[in-house]
Chain A
């Protein structure tokens, strides 16, 4: 797994995290360590770019769920872009797609 954090120019508190390679049970802790602090920037925005991610397992989904819950708590706009068909299917089945959609509407119906 390779992870880069880019600060988008147009807005100061907008970060884009690009992950390439594989996020699995071994790399998920590092993924979490990098991702979670970015969700705690009050009023900021975080874009997770998975365009170059060729594999993720359910541990990675778990990290994204934690990031989603944390961003709701900190009023940080969290979005995921660049899903490959396989990852999109994983998001669909587990219900993550629906959860992301709900938080973007502003419902914030997560359990925290």
Chain B
């Protein structure tokens, strides 16, 4: 708390106030803003400030009794605001601590998401994931065990910390499912559905796409649990198709079964996977249609996969004035 002796704060305040009262008002505004910031930073409360004001007035003017009394009344009134002010300061402090904790949690989460894209002889792969806030509810994982390439992309309902916590659960569930290495997409999703249905809150659910590519047979097989369809690009037809797959989101109902889809991938074909943070993007009032995303992909599909994903992300962010409203994940695979 500032004391009301004739300290530097009071002197500065007196100087500014006198200049303000003697017609320099325009020039003083900027300085007074600086002083106000300074005083706030140094814990001068609203009541302190009015006391300071009264002090200066007493020193420089002869105040009549009524004015004097009114100022004292104002100081009393300000005391209440002062309590608010201290509470606000305390909250700000707590907020800072919380922010720091979230920063740490976000770091832990970043380490959890296997962001590394494995090296692949038979495909060029790029992946990018960006949270709307610090914590992400998106998850992706790309594993190449030498025999098969497995790719997972998932979107946990909601944003922020609850979604991030659910994401960690998904990650560990995936790691612990024994068939994970050899399993068919349909059985992996059925297993994960059991985990989510058992452990998540009733309004929580997860959409997931799981695909496996066999470089010997060139077959890409996949299942989807309520996930936004990806895109399949056929080089021969020079045409994009929805990577259509139907299935219930994880956690909606116990015992959900998943259909498996398969297609032969030719050299030059591409697969793009995304979360609905991509398709739910709104450009001003209108939604960005899937056709538009295809256009964006077409514009950069001649580039290496890692650059395609970065470019598409940049373009989509630009449309939203560089402020993501939802977590965003995008994977490109060029065969």
Contacts and interface: CB of A to CB of B under 8 A. Distances in A.
Given A58-B158, A65-B252, A110-B254, A95 B197 contact: no
A94 B203 contact: no
Contacts of B280: 57
A95 B202 CA distance: 15
Given A70-B202, A111-B197, A94 B253 contact: no
Contact of B158 (A59, A66, A99, A110): A59
Interface in B66-98: none
Given A65-B205, A69-B202, A111-B198, A102 B157 contact: no
A95 B255 contact: no
A63 B252 CA distance: 12
B204 A94 contact: no
Nearest to A109: B253
A112 B202 contact: yes
Main secondary structure of the interface of A (DSSP, over half): helix
Main secondary structure of the interface of B (DSSP, over half): loop
B103 to A, nearest CB: 21
B227 interface: yes
Interface in B117-170: 155, 157-160
Contacts of A112: 202
Contact of A109 (B204, B226, B255, B326): B255
Contact of B254 (A66, A93, A109): A109
Contacts of B205: 58, 61-62, 65, 94
Counting chain B CB atoms within 10 Å of each CB, which of A55, A59, A95, A96 scores highest? A95
Nearest to B196: A111
Contacts of B160: 25
A65 B158 CA distance: 13
A30 interface: no
B157 A61 contact: yes
B211 interface: no
3 A-B pairs closest in CB distance: A95-B248, A66-B203, A62-B203
12 contacts: A25-B158, A62-B204, A65-B202, A93-B226, A93-B227, A94-B249, A95-B248, A95-B249, A96-B252, A99-B253, A110-B252, A111-B197
Given A25-B158, A109-B253, A110-B254, 17 more contacts: A32-B203, A58-B155, A58-B158, A58-B207, A58-B276, A62-B204, A62-B205, A63-B203, A70-B202, A93-B227, A93-B228, A94-B207, A95-B226, A95-B248, A110-B253, A111-B197, A112-B202
